Amino acid sequence: MTSDPEATTVEQFISDLSLGDGEMLAALHRVQERFGFISRPAVDAIARHFHITSARVFATVSFYSDLRLSPPAETRIEWCGGPACRLKGGENVRIALESTLGVKLGEATPDGRVELREAQCDGSCHQAALVWVNGRVHGPIGGADAVRLARGVSSGERPTSEDGDGGEGS
């Protein structure tokens, strides 16, 4: 055990899950569900629990785009990098989002309020090209829509799904 209260909490949480040796990924998802993200102490606690290095846990978290090492921003824009969205102008949407927000995929704005991440296709391709804003789908959208959406969330607007049909995304 460690004296770090967060690590202690995470260690207890993992221990209570009673997961087997091959269930590190399940542990990561459960920790993220419970704490919102996988903190550095959580990485170390998981490494100790599964008798592996923290570097291996980091590598696993980095591999899966749905796992995160930092707290979620108030507004999360997920850009779909799937083939149908790319075919329908998704790259223009990405470029518009990045240039309007001033961040690259995987980054948050300096005030930490908005983050832009890449997400995988969830089968909503009929709405391509699309993004999800806090899990709500916006599509089909183009570059101009993406600029408007990014300006809106930057100014604190709560976006509606007016650019798409309002279905639910990932």
The residue sitting closest to ligand FES, measured at its beta carbon, is 82
Kindly report the backbone phi and psi dihedral angles of residue 169, in degrees, each rounded to the nearest multiple of 5, phi listed first: -105, -165
Q: Cβ closer to ligand FES: 105 or 121?
A: 121
Q: Cβ closer to ligand FES: 42 or 129?
A: 129
The stretch near ligand FES (CB under 6 A) out of 1-9, 58-66, 78-86, 151-159 is 78-86
- Region 114-153 residues binding ligand FES, contact defined as CB under 6 A: 121-122, 124-125, 128, 130
d(CA 66, CA 32): 10
The stretch near ligand FES (CB under 6 A) out of 8-16, 76-84, 105-113, 148-156 is 76-84
d(CA 158, CA 155): 9
In the complex, the smallest distance separating the C-beta of residue 164 from ligand FES, rounded to whole angstroms, is 11
In the complex, the smallest distance separating the C-beta of residue 94 from ligand FES, rounded to whole angstroms, is 12
Site string for ligand FES, 80-99 (x = CB under 6 A): x-xxxx--------------
Helix extents (H) in the chain: 5-17, 24-35, 40-50, 54-63, 83-87, 90-101, 143-154
In the complex, the smallest distance separating the C-beta of residue 20 from ligand FES, rounded to whole angstroms, is 34
The stretch near ligand FES (CB under 6 A) out of 29-37, 57-65, 75-83, 98-106 is 75-83
Q: Which two tokens stand for residue 23?
A: 């269930």
Half-sphere exposure of 4 (CA within 13 A, CB side): 11
In the complex, the smallest distance separating the C-beta of residue 140 from ligand FES, rounded to whole angstroms, is 10
**Pairs from 99-108 (Cβ < 8 Å, separation ≥ 24):** 100/146, 100/147, 100/150, 100/151, 100/154, 101/77, 101/150, 101/154, 105/79, 108/70, 108/73
Q: Which positions ≥6 away from 12 have C-beta within 8 Å? A: none
- Residues lying near ligand FES in the complex (CB under 6 A) are found at 80, 82-85, 121-122, 124-125, 128, 130
